[in-house]
Structure 1
Amino acid sequence: MSICKAYLSTDEAILSHSPTWGEGGSTAVTAILINNQKLWVANVGDSRAVLSRKGVAAQMTTDHEPNTERGGIENKGGFVSNMPGDVARVNGRLAVSRAFGDKNLKTHLRSDPDIQYADIDSDVELLIIASDGLWKVMANQEAVDIAKKVKDPQKAAKQLLAEALKRDSKDDISCIVVRFK
């Protein structure tokens, strides 16, 4: 599928530039709307997309956590650490099991996305795409409830960011809100 190829190409491009850009990596979430009727969502890592249908939140992505994909990590020679007071980490370092880049851990990580599909009809109100800094401090339904109250999608995204900061999010926070009506 084209989405899978795009994700793998992106990972290869990032890895090829690692001497210049450094050894880090990134998570990603992508939403593709076709003819205002078909929505395809793909992701690697813990960035997330949440759809609101009649006010009910529906998670469109899979959070790629090391414990969930432990078998694949261990089969590739890696390990998952579970230190008290911390999240599970690949080789004691990375808190996701799929990511772009991260050259030093690449032999244990995947960069192929999970892909979901949804029909867009009159019941679908909005889509929230955000990094884990939002989702670590806010449930999917809470985010939908906040975003629904604000007509302008840019202002809705800013409201979600402000709420995440108010809740003392310690991680990166990026957010996009897409309105369908």
Structure 2
Amino acid sequence: MSSSVLRSLLRCGRTFLSTRPSTETSAASERVGGALLGMVGVRRAGGSFRLDSDGSGRPVTWDSFGIWDNRIEEPILLPSSIRYGKPIPQVSLSRVGSASVLGLRKQNEDRLRIARIHDNLLYFAVFDGHGGPHAADYCYTFMEKFIRDALEDEDDLERVLKKAFLDADRALHTHLSYFNKASFLTAGTTATVAMLRDGVELVVGSVGDSRAMLCRKGRATKLTKDHTPDRKDERHRIQRCGGFVTWNSVGQANVNGRLAMTRSIGDFHLRSSGVIAEPDTRRQTVRHTDDSFLALTTDGINFLLSDQEVCDVISQCQDPTEAADVIAQQALQYGSEDNATIVVVPLGAWGKHQSSTAAYSVSRNFASSGRWA
């Protein structure tokens, strides 16, 4: 562990321990703070609370994390570490990498957003617009507002995201209707939103075919499922609602011959055919000793790179900014004609788990990648 990290940790420890809000909290802080500052993390309170990452009873040491001895240095979140009973690295927004490239399109209809909702709650999102940028622009600007509004009445982040998506969809319809142009109501967007609370509670909500993926021990863990007519359950839902599915000359399924996804924000001309804005959600506990990063991607990347390829390429990069640039350029080199957008959020094991170092070639098998992965 570098001297800068140790100094930061000591400052955090002194600041937190000096508050002493109550006798019970103070005693707990001293025990956990002492364990953390001593670089060995075992503590028991009533036999149920301990600083081990996997429940094995073995102490957590700083080299359990990738970031302490590799390429990113961050302090720990001391209050969250005390609450959850294990060291939790801070995820700084300044360390998050992102990239968005035009490809061969006339304009970039992708949008990405990285923000802090509250002190303990981070927000990451990608939106892939179609039929114009109107829907993606609206979500980029206002999705955070709808999340904040939902948080006033609800603490469960899955419910918060479902409410925010539906509220954003209704508000978008009102907004686009003001222009009195029928073409505006055909605009839509995918939405993949991730929220990280206390550094460990990760909740993802998604509509469309943008993706979220967690790299755990060097392997890709999918957090979303594409909402496409290829899925039997989604196709049957469209048909039950009165819509139909057709396939174009390259084998891509479309709702009513128009839209390559079954859920989106916008696309109001297809609402009577079963296209909905209700997201699928998923909750995941981040394990910082195993999880290297979270990646959000649009289909300009997903169509040509499998989740595992994205995981492998990012794992070979020096930092998240480089990783995002490399992935976006890789998609272009592999022939992506669409806008390509990615957000890379480093987690505790960044740099710890190295994937295959094999070089990637344009000649690799396209059939094993993309939306069929």
- Hey, what's the Cα distance between the residues in 2 that align with 1:148 and 1:118? 21
Q: Is the partner of 1:115 in helix, strand or coil?
A: strand
Q: Could you tell me which of 171, 175, 187 is aligned with 1:24?
A: 187
Question: Partner of 2:317 in structure 1?
Answer: 150
Instruction: Calculate the TM-score normalised by the size of structure 1.
Output: 0.95
- Hey, what's the Cα distance between the residues in 2 that align with 1:104 and 1:164? 31
- Hey, what's the Cα distance between the residues in 2 that align with 1:36 and 1:134? 27
- Hey, what's the Cα distance between the residues in 1 that align with 2:326 and 2:303? 16
Cα distance, 1:93 vs structure 2: 0.5
Question: Partner of 2:240 in structure 1?
Answer: 75
Verify the 8 A CA contact 1:87 1:95 in the aligned structure 2.
Answer: yes
For structure 2, which runs of at least 5 residues remain unmatched after alignment? Answer: 1-158, 349-373
For 1:117-132, what aligned pairs fall within 5 Å after superposition? 117-121=283-287, 122-132=289-299
- Hey, what's the Cα distance between the residues in 1 that align with 2:339 and 2:251? 17
Instruction: Calculate the TM-score normalised by the size of structure 2.
Output: 0.47
Question: Partner of 2:257 in structure 1?
Answer: 92
- Hey, what's the Cα distance between the residues in 2 that align with 1:31 and 1:24? 23
- Flag as ranges the 4+ runs of structure 1 deviating above 3 A: none
Q: Could you tell me which of 259, 276, 282 is aligned with 1:110?
A: 276
Cα distance, 1:159 vs structure 2: 0.7
| Matching of residue 34 in structure 1 with residue 197 in structure 2 | yes
Cα distance, 1:153 vs structure 2: 1.1
- Hey, what's the Cα distance between the residues in 2 that align with 1:103 and 1:160? 33
| Matching of residue 14 in structure 1 with residue 180 in structure 2 | no
Deviations 1:24-70 (A, max 9, x none): 10001011101011111110000001100010001100100113211
Cα distance, 1:84 vs structure 2: 3.5
Give the strand-richer structure, 1 or 2: 1
Question: Partner of 1:54 in structure 2?
Answer: 217
Cα distance, 1:170 vs structure 2: 1.7
Cα distance, 1:167 vs structure 2: 0.5
- Hey, what's the Cα distance between the residues in 1 that align with 2:292 and 2:283? 16
Q: Which is greater in Rg?
A: 2
Q: Could you tell me which of 304, 329, 334 is aligned with 1:167?
A: 334
Cα distance, 1:118 vs structure 2: 1.2
Q: Could you tell me which of 324, 335, 345 is aligned with 1:178?
A: 345
Count of residue pairs the alignment pairs up: 181
Deviations 1:100-153 (A, max 9, x none): 001111222011111111111110100110101100000000001111112321
- Ranked by relative contact order (alpha carbons within 8 Å, sequence separation 6 or more), the top structure is 1
